[in-house]
Each structure stands twice: as structure tokens, then as C-alpha cells.
Structure 1
Amino acid sequence: MRLLPNSHWSKAHLLQRIPNPTSEAYEQKILIPEFTFVGVKSQPDFGEMLLTFYPDKWTIELKSLKVYKDAFRDSVVSYERLCNVVYEDLMAVYEPIRLRCMMIMRPRGGISSCLTIDSDWKIRGGKEMFNDWAGNTDRFGFDVRGTVRI
């Protein structure tokens, strides 16, 4: 397991992994339709999380993922930090070939937000070998590489 840069916030100990049942390549998409926590202003925040996972030796045990996401319910944390913590925890525990983590927050004060992290990005240490995110948009119609509206 890799080191956790956000170990103060990490709940990685709750995640369980199971051996990947095949050496063949496949993509696993996981939707977490309700992800809740307490924002930095002590108000509840709600969002959904979309995970795109390319397993290597290990895959995600989904019941432990449920326990993991529920453990943040009473945590006071910014969603920017939380998205990074979840990404880093999943990378450390499962060591996937690729992980894309997208967190879409419900409106607060009339404002929605979407955060995306992809291990394929060079800026995250990736090799941009998949590059399928190039030209794609998030739910808001923005290019996933920045703020260019499509």
C-alpha cells in the first residue's frame, strides 16, 4: 500500500480489497449517488461520486466502499480536500492501473460544483496513455482539462 499524503483525513483502513479475478483488462464504473459530509461552515453537504476504475492486482470490495463513504458523514471537511482524500485512499489501497474520481456537489446557495481527478493526467503523475478524457466534458459542459466551455 502506498503512503497517504492526507493521512489525517484518511479512512483507508475501512477499505477492503479482493484479488482481481482476471488478468484481462476491464473498466469498472461505480456510482455513489449519495455522498454526505459536513462542510467547513458546519452545514451538511451532499453530492454524488462517480468512480472509473481499471484494476490491476486488486479490485474494490463494494460493501467496504459503502462503509468507507458513510464514515465521512460527520466529518467536517471541504469537498476539495475530500475528493483528494478519496482519490488518494483508493489509489493507495487498490493500486489500480487507472482511477478517475469525479465528485458532483448538490447546489449550495444556488451554486453547483464538480471536481475531477484522473490518475492518467500528467499533472497527477500519469502518462496520458488513455487520453479518453481529452475532448470530453463534465456534467456542466466544461472540457475536463480546464475551464473551456464547449
Structure 2
Amino acid sequence: MSYQPNKVLEVFDNPKIERDFIIQINMPEFTCLCPKTGQPDFATLHFAYIADKACIELKSLKMYIWLYRNEGAFHEAVTNQILDDLVQVSNPRFIRLKAIFNIRGGVYTTIITEHKQKNWTPKAKVDL
């Protein structure tokens, strides 16, 4: 079966809505194009979020991320666009996206962007 990249992000019901639990997703094969040179940029995306009513479906996330491989985008813009799209479809209590771009011209770039629901307060962390 062949899959095509698309911008349709799917969600499913949070199975434990009464609990704040952290979902971490790592995607080491993100690719987009430099809007200045057309050369490929590679990054590892690290997502961490606390779902509210909906969780992000992983296959649709993969197909969505795959779409960027042929699009020109500055690192800062593409990282924030991905976060905005995830917030729009899932409205998480909290989400952080860390994009670590591979070296290019002797420069490493890391972009970290976050979103938090207005009335959500994180629980106190317990260190054991």
C-alpha cells in the first residue's frame, strides 16, 4: 500500500483525560528545503505534549511531516508552523517542539517552541 504526504492531521480520544501524562515523539528524519539555496535541511524533531481531549495519531503526523521535504522554509518558520498546526487540531494542555537541525555551513540550529492552554497549571513534579 502506498501512502502520500498530506496536511491532514488526525487525532483520537485521550484514553485517560483525567490524568496529565507526557507523550514524547521523536522523528529523526525531518527534511525541508532551504528557501535561499534550495538545498535540503535535515533535522530531528522532538515533541513532548500533555493531551487534553485528543491525542495526535502517529501515522497522520508522519505523513504531515513528510510533506515538508519539498517545501522551502526557514527553520524558525517551519518549526512554529508545525507547532501551530498541532495545536489547532489537538488543543493540548501543553506542547513543546524542539527541532535540532543538522550542521550547515558550520552552523547548528536548534529551535524550541511551546504552547500552553491559558487555564492549565502543571502538576508538581515528583522526583523519586
- TM-score normalized by structure 2? 0.84
Give deviations 1:35-62, integer Å, cap 9, x for gaps: 0011112110000110011000000100
- Kept in 1: contact 2:7–2:67 (CA 8 A): no
Q: Distance in 2 between matches of 1:13 and 1:111?
A: 30
Q: Which has the higher contact order (CA 8 A, sep 6+)?
A: 2
Q: Go from structure 1 to structure 2 and tell me whether the alpha carbon gap of 1:13 and 1:43 turns closer, same or farther (over 3 Å shift).
A: closer
Map of 1:115 onto structure 2: 111
2:15 to 21, 40, 57: 21
Q: Go from structure 1 to structure 2 and tell me whether the alpha carbon gap of 1:62 and 1:16 turns closer, same or farther (over 3 Å shift).
A: same
- Kept in 1: contact 2:24–2:47 (CA 8 A): yes
Question: How many pairs were matched up?
Answer: 118
Question: 1:119 Cα deviation (Å)?
Answer: 1.5
Q: Distance in 2 between matches of 1:51 and 1:22?
A: 19
Map of 1:79 onto structure 2: 75
Q: Distance in 2 between matches of 1:101 and 1:14?
A: 19
Q: Go from structure 1 to structure 2 and tell me whether the alpha carbon gap of 1:127 and 1:115 turns closer, same or farther (over 3 Å shift).
A: farther
Give deviations 1:83-134, integer Å, cap 9, x for gaps: 01001000000000000011110000111010101114xxxx857944x9xx
1:1-150 equivalences in 2 (<5 Å): 13-23=7-17, 24-41=19-36, 42-120=38-116, 129-130=121-122
The 4+ residue runs of structure 1 with deviation greater than 2 A are 125-130
Q: Which runs of no fewer than 5 residues in structure 2 stay unpaired?
A: none
Identity over the aligned pairs, expressed in percent? 30
Give deviations 1:69-92, integer Å, cap 9, x for gaps: 001110011111000100100000
Q: Go from structure 1 to structure 2 and tell me whether the alpha carbon gap of 1:29 and 1:88 turns closer, same or farther (over 3 Å shift).
A: same
